[in-house]
Amino acid sequence: MLNCSATQQNHSSNETLPRTSERLHTILMALYIIDLAGGTLGVIMMSRKLFQRRSQSVTTVFIVSLLVLHTFMLLSIPFRLSYYVSREWKFGRLACKLTSVILYIHMYATFVFYVGIIIIRLFQLEFRRCYATAYVCTVGAVWLVGALVITPLLLSYYGTSKTYQSSECFQFHREIQEAHMVIISYCLVGVLVAVCAVLTVMQLFVIYRLAVKHWPDINSHVEFRAQAKSFFFILVTLVCFMPHHAFRVYYIQNYHLDKDYKLLLYNEIFLALTAMCCLDMLCFLTGIAH
């Protein structure tokens, strides 16, 4: 009787794991489909709007930079969906590394642009003349460092310390056991959390100060509206980027327990959530970010 009961429990457990895995795969694909559909629609509509206006303002430079980042990321999503549907990678190892790297580059470059526009708008209250120059320099620096330094380094060393099958992709989580990867991951989490916390406090303080200063006609003042719009970028960071980095700490500490690869799927889901920042263009167009 005891052996029969144990066998039934093991059989039930083995059935539960595949069902859980299938549900997680469904959620993962649904998130990427939303990213692809909403992001593509936002990029097309925003590009059309910018083309019609033909504006050359500092804000336009910012939006164009985000559009380019989102476009590269959106182009990689069909490859991911193909892999999740067929469960087999058919595009070669270089394409696998590039598809994987693009999502991380998109996440951190978008975060840097968000931080840049928030900080520059904060300084704009005190140093109006330096606003345009500071922002253009920030955008140029991000593109140069990303294109000439970070991307080549990632493609050269990302996924090279372990052996992977050609039919598999996005399995580079195995390298998280490396000491230097653990250190880098903790540093990235610490920097993002610290920067986001400091900017949130600063932004709320500035908004409060301007609200008190211009009350009750706060919406009629350009300064208040600009700072309120900047807070939208902080919200995107909190919603899209923070969950992935919080889970990364848990994943690093419990990676050795992930025998059924369920934590890996959760990690991929949180990574797909970071790509949802590409919906910011739809937020701008529909007025959510205003």
pLDDT per residue over 236-290, tens digit each? 999 999 999 999 888 888 877 766 678 888 889 999 999 999 998 888 777 655 5
What average pLDDT does the segment 43-68 reach? 80
Tokens 């936002």 correspond to what residue? Answer: 42
Q: How many CB atoms lie within 10 A of CB 105?
A: 19
What average pLDDT does the segment 113-127 reach? 75
246-249-251-253 Cα dihedral, nearest 10 degrees: -150
Which of 117, 121, 119 is closest to 139 using CA atoms? 117
> Is CATH 3.40.50.2300 what the domain over 23-162+174-286 is classified as, yes or no?
no
Supply the pLDDT for residue 115. 85
Supply the pLDDT for residue 138. 66
Give the confidence band of 10 by pLDDT, cuts at 50, 70, 90. Answer: very low
Give the confidence band of 230 by pLDDT, cuts at 50, 70, 90. Answer: confident
Contact 96, 80 (CB under 8 A): no
Domain ranges of the chain: 23-162+174-286
Mean pLDDT computed over every residue of the chain: 78
Supply the pLDDT for residue 4. 42
What is the 8-class DSSP label of residue 221? -
Is the bond preceding residue 152 a cis peptide, omega within 30 degrees?
no
pLDDT tens per residue, range 141-170? 776 776 666 767 666 666 555 666 667 777
Q: What is the pTM of this model?
A: 0.82
What average pLDDT does the segment 113-140 reach? 69
Q: Which amino acid would we find at residue 159?
A: G
* Residue that wins the pLDDT comparison between 115 and 70: 70
Q: Check whether 78 has a pLDDT greater than 90.
A: yes
